[in-house]
A and B are shown apart, each in its own frame.
Chain A
């Protein structure tokens, strides 16, 4: 694309953004990140994924974003790097341990985890404080990747595993294994999350979802993969605080089901996810403060917001409520969004990170009459 054309398209998008967004911040990291994880309401962690030495950074969001009444008097628009550390391998998964200043990472090459202390006011260094061994494989079935999914809860307990068959709950301080998921299956996982204090959900790439309670040793409840026509697809899963489970396939099939009724589906839709990439790193997430809304990223250079309350039991093509195209428009060559995350309290604020190192913070305006 010609330079002037590129600038024109970019200018056009910025002009449109005047009405489309309340707040908009655009940053360029030195190295792209695949992880975005809140460590507090105002700080977020990112990590590089190059082959050798990488940085983990804790960034403070711009003060202007949070200055409500005196917003006009606050000129501060920049990220502040409040803590930083170095890691030997890539950071493929990063989770904050709630109620602590610890984060846990996995490099995607093995199932082991690294434990980090993010540091307080006295130092700006993120230090490696320990390691957690992943559960050893019982079978010799080799799995591509080998990276673990991680979920964390209070009291420094971390749930982790790369396959459904090796999920365990480890106490970080003692290293003690408090619980293991007993299942005969070995499905590679695409997500792992707590849906309550004791109940968790393990979403497999083949579409199966396992729901288990860490207080019992009972077998997990299986929500089988939705029937999908044609070739086997990859699936990604997210559960909302209201016990709704969303599953999205690589062909764009979206299914919302209830956590309490395995096998059923509440609503479906077909999303327009023209993927230019063979193996997309997809993120799907329910909005924490906007009922029924979800965000989807990873198929290309945009982040799409959908309102699932408009979906019906029979699948129909769904139009996004909003599309953030900032990354695609700002990049001269193909770019894809590697990660996105909703702000835990502000209803329409999201962060998104793309493969070119850009990180955007945006607060979109709902221009439809009804909906979220």
Chain B
């Protein structure tokens, strides 16, 4: 039976890094290549020894597909391609291709410069890795080779995130990456057609949650900002240019307008240039509202939000500032943070995850005393007391329990595969999905083998079809399969079903009939004809419902089985029953019975 094999790489129960291997139709595909942000050693990379113990991965993989730019999905890509070794194609959407290297470089800088690590990929490696990338457009089928084709679908979640449909011959797999089913202010909701893949692979991390509404998260944000401004405090919001910055700006602008607030809001210029540039490039990836806004005006043209200047940070009174980078690890946001951290009235709002080693990560873990480097001719360290209010807010869009069911019902897979979950703790969810679809939950490092039942299209000759219809009466019904006789001819890439006679004719062969005979000795004192008659009567009584004839030529016929009686001249009591039947006969049991 044809099979599809899926193995999530990783060890034990750890969640936090995505890297899944799929074997389908003889092709091997790697889905995502994420970094585990919780480890500092080799455990942060996926375990590639599953593919090969040593050496490069190129000959073992047909392609690598990256779903989106979050580090837990692409963080280990340069390590895999340049340090382990892979030269084949890496597929990702255009926005992902543009944004990935920026995040990877940021991440590299933090890890190497801040944390002093040595066994890490270099800037050049990131560049070399990106040269292997083949960009994808939405809903466009791409032929990786003669047999393997892939197609990207819109996933929502972040700019450029995609779900991917993989097809080899008649088997297919869909991998969702991260996605969400409710549109937000700048991204639409995930969508896929009823493609009925053999396997649908999805993360189970949020499968058992019910998400608090977007509006409530926004409300919390507005409430915090408002409270700080009201008491005269300053609010710093470190953002990555393409994360929630746009969305939060729109939110604050609307709020300021409605509440008639006067406190100034600023965004740092680096933020706007990059954001505008990327949104212009990838306008088709945002939702309707943003597209309309863009048509009407510049993305960052607001009434209440103005470009920031360094000197403003020292201005008295309340203000809100959006500044990059997002994890407070360098640059303008860190400079502003240093100035404002010492006052209780101020606030810093972190709208997303921060990598270990950054100031952002430290303060989110409750650290209130930080060691900072001072800028001087001599490098000095000083301690910073963190007195301002620290708020961690999560705006990331993920599908929850309800969303997952929505997506599964959209795609209608034959098998559902949930990775990154503890099977024991997800029995209920499994049971729920299994009411409609097959469901598997492999542990990390465990391979799930799914047998597929692909439908093979075959042409049937008209004669054969007519003959079968004459037998059966009704048109073929997929719900009621029945067996038929015929010959399957495979010529080049086509499959044809014809009647046996026609096949023989095409091959130039004669039809042969096989006939079997069997001799049964019998002791009977009667004459041959009488013995035969006795057998006839006996069979008639025992084999009711079958056609039994006593023919004038001295034979008994049971359906098409011929029975004769003969005896030798020497011993007239020893009879020999001669039974004869052709290969077609299905009544062997009759023989036994009689």
Contact = CB atoms under 8 A, between A and B. Distances in A.
Nearest to A73: B392
Interface string A123-166: 11110000000000000000000000000000000000000000
B465 to A, nearest CB: 42
Given A55-B432, A78-B400, A124 B426 contact: yes
B209 A84 contact: no
Contacts of A80: 208-210
Contact of A26 (B215, B255, B427, B429): B215
Given A123-B424, A124-B426, A125-B431, A72 B215 contact: no
Contacts of A24: 216, 219
Top 7 A-B residue pairs of the complex, sorted by shortest distance between their CB atoms: A84-B428, A77-B212, A79-B210, A75-B394, A26-B213, A75-B392, A78-B209
A74 B392 contact: yes
A179 interface: no
A25 interface: yes
Contacts of B394: 75-77
Contacts of A59: 210
- Size category of the A interface is 35 or more
Given A28-B402, A30-B402, A77 B216 contact: yes
A17 B211 contact: no
Given A17-B219, A84-B432, A126-B428, 7 more contacts: A18-B222, A30-B401, A73-B365, A77-B211, A81-B208, A81-B209, A86-B432
Contacts of A55: 432
Nearest to B214: A26
A252 interface: no
- Which of B212, B222, B429 is packed against the most chain A CB atoms within 10 Å? B212
Interface in B360-374: 364-366
Interface string B433-459: 001000000000000000000000000
A344 interface: no
B428 to A, nearest CB: 4
Nearest to B390: A72
Contact of B212 (A10, A27, A70, A74): A27
B237 to A, nearest CB: 14
A223 to B, nearest CB: 41
B137 interface: no
A198 interface: no
A122 B402 CA distance: 24
Contacts of B393: 75
Contacts of B258: 15
Contacts of B366: 70, 73
A62 interface: yes
A29 interface: yes
B226 interface: yes
B219 A27 contact: no
A119 B288 CA distance: 45
A279 to B, nearest CB: 29
B391 interface: yes
Nearest to B352: A75
A79 B216 CA distance: 13
B518 to A, nearest CB: 60
